[in-house]
Amino acid sequence: MKILIAIPHVFAPKKNSLYSSENENKKEIKEKGLLEATIGNLNRHGEYHWIHASLGKGKPVVTRKLYSRKGISLKIQIYTHRTKNLINKLPKDERIEVIYPDVENLEEIPAIASRALLEQAENYDMVGYIEDDIAIEDREFFFKIRYLVENSGNEYVFLPHRCEEIISDGEVILSGDPDGGREDLFWDTKEWVTSKWSEQEYRFYRATNPHSGCYFITRDQALIAKQYWVEKNWLPNLILCGPLEQAASGMLIKSFKIMKPIPEDYRILMVKHTDELWKRHPFENEKDHKQEFKTIETIVF
């Protein structure tokens, strides 16, 4: 598969901002997140890998390059400001292209990245838009997306749950749905579909909260989305929350049914958010959360 991923990236600290991209104290986390979203994703899903191989009995062990049977031809484009970024920390890689949109308003960069992605889609089997701290750790991820669309139809876009790790206490799904749903939203239809993967059946529902900080669509789906926006002259008549939400799910909400795994099945389709947003919200029941972590005593015999 030939895949293009577009990433909007800005780091411009502001006083008292809650956003990680505007918080100087989050610089180290943002550097790690950008590395995971670029080099990390290329390493996990690229066409080649390495193996330690012996040259024979009594001979040296070398690190040998191998090409994966399920390797992906993956290219990443980073859309960023010329100075307000952290890209100088990234290793050079020919699979990464850096693009500097000529705009003064940094909030326009996510939409520019998402539009450019759709405009290039005819040259790829699949395209993906991700925020600059999304790690795709599941090596079968892109094959799952293709399988789900092939078996359910182009009208469905399958988004992963965006998750963070609570140290020593499991994972948390970000962007959950409000209790009771939202009858005022045209997409909150309670629709659901099922699909099998590795002989196990999973359920996907039309999410009330369609945001996941990313999207992944096939070429045919991307061309459908592109045609919709060309007819609208790329001007939205519906805005989802903010610039990041609009550039992600907002680009698809009028053209497709956005589906996510039910929370109980979240592991079938998920990505890792390299941040600590889970710390912003209290636990519904503190008794469920491990507040005290005991040091494990090591006994040496």
Q: Give the pLDDT confidence of 63-117 residue by residue, as tens digits.
A: 999 999 888 999 999 999 999 999 998 999 999 999 999 999 999 999 999 999 9
Q: Is residue 290 part of a domain?
A: no
Closest CA to 130 of 240, 212, 35, 23: 212
Measured CA angle at 33 (ends 138, 259), to 5 deg: 45
Domain that holds residue 227: 2-50+62-278
Q: Is residue 292 part of a domain?
A: no
Q: Is residue 46 part of a domain?
A: yes
Q: Is residue 288 part of a domain?
A: no
Q: What is the mean pLDDT of the chain?
A: 92
What does the pLDDT look like over 156-199, one tens digit per residue? Answer: 999 999 999 998 889 999 988 888 889 899 899 999 999 999 98
Q: Is residue 296 part of a domain?
A: no
> Count of domains in the chain?
1
Q: What is the CATH number of the domain that holds 25?
A: 3.90.550
**Structure confidence at residue 238 as a pLDDT band (50, 70, 90):** confident
Residue with tokens 């939400």: 245
Q: Is residue 295 part of a domain?
A: no
Q: How far apart are CA 188 and CA 20, in angstroms?
A: 30
pLDDT at 284: 86
Residues 6 or more apart in contact with residue 50 via CB below 8 angstroms: 63, 64, 65, 66
pLDDT at 71: 80
Q: Which residues share a beta bridge with 214? A: 130
pLDDT at 155: 98
Q: Is residue 55 part of a domain?
A: no
Q: How far apart are CA 126 and CA 1, in angstroms?
A: 8
Q: Is residue 291 part of a domain?
A: no
What does the pLDDT look like over 240-254, one tens digit per residue? Answer: 888 999 999 999 999
pLDDT at 301 over 90: no
* Residue 28, Cβ density class (10 Å: 0-12 exposed, 13-18 middle, ≥19 buried): exposed
With pLDDT > 70 as the criterion, what percentage of the chain qualifies?
96
Q: How far apart are CA 274 and CA 35, in angstroms?
A: 10
**Structure confidence at residue 289 as a pLDDT band (50, 70, 90):** confident
